[in-house]
Homo-oligomer: A and B are copies of this chain.
Amino acid sequence: MPLPAKLLVDIHTHVYLPRYTALLRSRSSVPLIRSIVNSEGVAEDRLLILDHEPSGGRPVGPQYWDREEKLNFMDKHGIDISVVSTANPWLDFLPASQAHTLASELNNDLEEYCSTAPSVASRQIKRLYGFGLLPLVPEITTSALLDIVKQIGELPHLRGLIMGTRGIGRGLDDEALEPVWAAIEKAGLVVFLHPHYGVDGSAWGDKDNGHVLPLALGFPFETTTAATRLILSGVFDKFPSLRLLLAHSGGALPALSSRLASCIDHDPVVASRLKHDARYYLGKLYLDAVAYGPEELGFVSDVISRADKFETGSSAKAAPNRSAGSKRMLFGTDHPFFPPLSASEKWKSVTENLEAINDVQGWSEEDRSGVRGENAVALFNL
């Protein structure tokens, strides 16, 4: 019997479940989905996620909510398994009691979405797994959050949870979240940290550049800021087994990590706060491989692999080992975002990320297949 082919696993792929879409359609303030008639006279749904959305919102359709569309997209691109997450803005805009109820309902919906999906041919695994949602909103109680962590931990096809960067209103470096980190760590769930708000829009100026600046820069800046604040808060010292997966290859964090370490070393307020050099903590992270270029991916794997050198007391001096660093990197597509502007068989946003994985200098074929899928199989225990 031939060995089964290596799996291609997409760990960065989003859905707006029907229950969530219905809520967005019912709303009269952002976030919402509204129907418009577009410039060609055709009815079209537009999603407005944030106030002052450029270009009148994002055209949306069944690829945002219909499971068949997700499976079709996976088939078209040779993706065996997707670990699906609700896209932003999650539950951020809801009052606490509604967020609590809806988180529970959406987690059950996502479990059903996955558990009733087809299986991978000739394997005992499903084609869909999921990241659940926590009701991370102001005034939520710790016990409500812990209830939902427990729920996610008990739903067999949910293997982690997605969260934004605001926590319960004061960011992820809020001490009030420590019991939540402890529970997530204990449950062995993967936290997928994903941006939503970007940065203050005044930085983008008054030219119309579409969504480019908030998406290309604002999103990575937000992730970078949140992860840096987590490092500075000592969360990784307190919860060393916490498994945090950063969207978009960690944004700018890998590139700014030596600058961060230097700024910490030179600032009397924080210089002696952490157990290790800031770069050590990057080796504890997981990063998706959604960076669109092989040089970017190679660099990220360097940064992960050098982390051990920065453990306090380490005498390691070796040059970075890209193979070792690749073990914490995982393929993703960001589907259904970034559709091609003109009709094409495959999505460029997907093929670019696959080509990037293929073209990284210094990765072996084993490293590449790890990033394409085997690392996800291990991380999510598929």
- A341 proximity list for chain B (CB < 8 A): 265-266, 268, 271
Q: Mark A257-274, 1 if CB is under 8 A from B, else 0.
A: 111111111111111000
Q: Is the CB of B209 within 8 A of A270?
A: yes
The reply to whether the CB of A42 lies closer than 8 angstroms to some CB of chain B is: no
**Is there a chain B Cβ closer than 8 Å to A211's Cβ?**
yes
Q: How far is the CA of A220 from the CA of B267 in the complex (A)?
A: 18
**B306 contacts A212, CB within 8 Å?**
no
Q: Which A204-226 residues have C-beta < 8 A from chain B?
A: 204-213, 215-217, 220-222, 224-225
Report how far A207 CA is from B231 CA in the complex, Å.
Answer: 12
- Is B261 a contact of A292 with CB atoms below 8 Å? yes
CB distance from A200 to the nearest CB of B (A): 3
Q: Give chain A's interface secondary structure class.
A: helix
Q: Are A319 and B361 interface neighbours, CB within 8 A?
A: yes
Known contacts A203-B200, A295-B306; decide if A225 and B229 are in contact (CB<8 Å). no
B residues less than 8 Å from A269 (CB atoms): 54-55, 208-212
How far is A134 from B208 in the complex, measured between Cα atoms in Å?
Answer: 27
> B255 touching A210 by the CB < 8 A rule?
no
A203 touches B199 (CB 8 A): yes
Interface presence of A57 (CB below 8 A): no
Q: Which of B207, B267, B293, B299 contacts A212 (CB 8 A)?
A: B267
Which residues on the B side are within 8 Å of A225 (C-beta)? 203-204, 213, 217
A220 to B266: give the CA distance in the assembly, Å.
17
Number of copies: 2
> Of B171, B199, B216, B302, which is within 8 A of A260 by CB?
B216
The answer, among B211, B233, B306, for a CB contact under 8 Å with A207, is B233
Picked from B217, B259, B296, the residue with its CB within 8 Å of the CB of A216 is B259
Give the shortest distance, in Å, between A155 (CB) and chain B (any CB).
Answer: 32
A348 to B211 Cα, complex, angstroms: 40
Does A23 touch B at the CB level, under 8 Å? no
CB <8 Å contact, A210 and B299: no
Q: A206 to B256, alpha carbons, bound, how many Å?
A: 22
Q: 10 interchain pairs (CB within 8 A)?
A: A55-B269, A170-B206, A173-B205, A209-B267, A210-B270, A212-B263, A212-B264, A251-B252, A254-B255, A255-B299
Given contacts A212-B270, A251-B252, A298-B299, 6 further A-B contacts (CB under 8 A): A171-B206, A173-B205, A211-B263, A211-B267, A258-B293, A266-B348
